[in-house]
Structure 1
Amino acid sequence: MDAMITAENLTKRYGNRAVVDDVSFTARPGRVTGFLGPNGAGKSTTMRMLTALTTPTAGRGTILGRTFRDLPNPGRHVGVLLDASAQHVGRTGRETLLLSAQLMGTGPHRVDEVLDVVGLTAREASARTRTYSLGMRQRLGLAHALLGEPEVLILDEPANGLDPAGIRWMRNLLRSFADGGGTVLLSSHLLLEVEAVADDLVIIGNGRILARGSTEELLATPGTQVRSTDDGALAGALTGAGHDVVRTGAGLSTSATTEEVGGLALAAAVVLTDLRPAASTGLEELFFDTTAQHGREEISA
């Protein structure tokens, strides 16, 4: 089975209000897909529909080519962390994992393996989860997601409560999982961390897709930065050819491609001393530019 997540026209309405409205995207094997949007955008509802916790009003979500409900022993194929606080507070961390391991048929040895992977000590694993900090709950939730050795991870805000070292550890773990052929769908408000780990991005607002594509493509800025021995002459050649030109402290910024700049410089007998594509925009800038009209901070979805 191809370890792919596919949302096909997913829609969820409550009365006349569409919380998720015709959402379609694909998360592919070997890649981390960042799933972003302001509060109330519909991220959590979409993830809940993909994992059969919420029934779509319309559309379909599949994982490994099947709906979540149709997957045999789904925990062996899909690791899910949507709410780290949803744990039995009377059980220890180890008891929580042992029960799931028994249901999945993984054996108790896997419990020790995932506890080691997520960095929970034997003492911490033996404590009741009611005593856990948020960061420890996140680590236990991720241990549970990894327990069945899945091909797919669906994670909603997995870095909440982690300190900087924990966030870096999380990033490395997800990168390693994807590099091993796994599929990761990651929702997070930590935009710099998403930018550092995500291969693809899906941005939604008011329940609708606003942008999707590879991180490289979405963050790329068209145009060229250039410096020459005669920026004035080069600027004249560029504007004469119909390109936008802005003088910067480091030379010129232009809408022309690097090839077009090179050709015009050659024709104008201007020597180039620096020529490069325009610097990429950051994810934070892309996010706020894309979602500026779609923030609904007062609603949680």
Structure 2
Amino acid sequence: MITAQHLTKRYGDHAAVDDVSFTAQPGRVTGFLGPNGAGKSTTMRMVCGLTVPTAGHATVLGRPLRSTPNPGRTVGVLLDASAQHAGRTGRETLALSARLMGLPPRRVEEVLEIVGLTAAESRKRTRGYSLGMRQRLGLAHALLGDPTVLILDEPANGLDPAGIRWMRELVRDFAAQGGTVLLSSHLLREMEAVCDDLVIIGGGRILAQGSAGELLRGPSTRVRSADDGALAAALTRAGHGVERTDEGSLATTASTEQVGRVALAAGVALTELRAATTTGLEQLFFDTTARHGREEIAA
């Protein structure tokens, strides 16, 4: 389990992360989402003990990761796949870490096979690796100690479609065996396919969090009418949530039957009425972070 409690990181007067709290549970994949500059990487670095918080604290498996003996045996971390010694081969990189963790040499062979790096590729110096090969080596390093927790920042960056599918299955299998996964990515379709829980951050603060099912459920009905203003007011008076969508229709938490009854009582003619039981992660992301993109940050 990963627990962040009131994490805050200030650089002078700027709060890169402001009072962030969330939990990543065992057996589940928690997606950590936000636009560039939202505070994702800073938060993940604080969870990993690489950045000291101004306030708040984070624990992994019940204790700060900095105080965990031989942390690679319990937590696998991939924050920057390019942060590898350019003069070492992939195999040398893993062998050195295995020795530091007290692992047998055969574990290097096992993780190379898991991530799909061939013997020839593992003997190449990492300066010649493609971005996709660097990602696979970074994942191999994260898996080396056979951890129970994975913290991964953009692990699919640079992978081809087959590699992205492989990475998705690896993460899902890890969680299915009881592991905890905290995963950050800009590939929203992949995140929607793999995540059990979602944490959305913008401007350094949590904007939304909960199970993917709850957050993606969304309004249940889309409706258009001869007088959308009057219909929206009538639905609100009846206790139903209402908002206008990008396509110009109304989205409401009321069922189609409830909308019909309210419209009839209000004397508003309907021109379109349809069920819309879910909303995609892409729409949820943009709706939630609309005021926390690069333009807003720059302002």
Answer yes or no: same fold by TM over 0.5: yes
SS in 2 for 1:222: coil
Work out whether 1:41 is the aligned partner of 2:41.
no
The structure 1 residue matched to 2:22, chosen from 13, 16, 25, is 25
Scaled by the length of structure 1, the TM-score of the pair is 0.83
The DSSP-based 3-state class of the residue aligned with 2:169 is helix
| Change over 3 Å in CA distance of 1:298–1:288 after alignment to 2 | closer
1:219 is aligned to: 216
Alignment map for 1:187-266 (pairs within 5 Å): 187-224=184-221, 242=238, 255-257=253-255
Q: Secondary structure at the match of 1:174?
A: helix
Conserved in 1, the CA contact under 8 Å of 2:220 and 2:278?
A: no
Tell me which of 82, 85, 96 is aligned to 1:85.
Answer: 82
Aligned residue pairs total: 270
Say which SS state the counterpart of residue 293 (structure 1) adopts: helix
**CA root-mean-square deviation:** 2.8
Q: Is the CA contact 1:35–1:43 (under 8 Å) kept in the aligned structure 2? A: yes
Match of 1:232 in 2: none
Code of the residue aligned with 1:186 in structure 2: it is L
Change (3 A) 1:298 1:136: farther
Name 1:272's counterpart in structure 2: none
The residue number in structure 2 matching 1:279 is 277
Once the two structures are TM-superposed, the CA of residue 256 in structure 1 deviates from its matched residue by 3.0
The aligned counterpart of 1:136 is: 133
CA distance in 1, matches of 2:92, 2:297: 35
Q: How far 1:105 moved relative to its partner?
A: 1.1
Aligned match of 1:185: 182
Report sequence identity in percent.
75
- 1:61 paired residue number: 58
- Partner amino acid, structure 2, of 1:94: R
Relative to structure 1, the CA distance from residue 101 to residue 259 in structure 2 (aligned partners, 3 Å threshold; closer, same or farther) is farther
What is the aligned counterpart of 1:110 among 80, 91, 107? 107
Q: CA deviation at 1:72?
A: 1.3
- Quote how far apart the aligned CAs of 1:60 are: 0.1
Q: Which amino acid aligns with 1:53?
A: L
Q: Which runs of 5+ in 1 are unaligned?
A: 227-234, 246-252, 265-275
Q: Deviations over 1:149-176 (max 9, x none)?
A: 0000000000111001100100000000
Q: Secondary structure at the match of 1:120?
A: coil
Task: Give the Cα separation in 1 of the matches to 2:296 and 2:150.
Answer: 28
Q: Distance in 2 between matches of 1:28 and 1:150?
A: 15
Conserved 8 A contact 1:39-1:297: no
Q: What is the SS of the residue equivalent to 2:291?
A: coil
> 2-side partners of 1:297 and 1:85: how far apart?
28
In 2, Cα distance between the equivalents of 1:297 and 1:49?
Answer: 26
1:271 aligns to what?
Answer: none
Cα distance, 1:106 vs. partner? 1.5
State the one-letter code of the partner of 1:189.
H
Which residue pairs with 1:14 in the alignment?
A: 11
Conserved? CA contact 2:203–2:297, under 8 Å: no
Report if aligned partners of 1:206, 1:296 keep a CA contact under 8 Å in 2: no
Q: What is the rounded CA distance, in whole Å, between the counterparts of 2:6 and 2:42 in structure 1?
A: 14
Query: What's the TM-score, normalizing by structure 2?
Result: 0.83
Determine the C-alpha separation between the residues in 1 that align with 2:172 and 2:205: 27
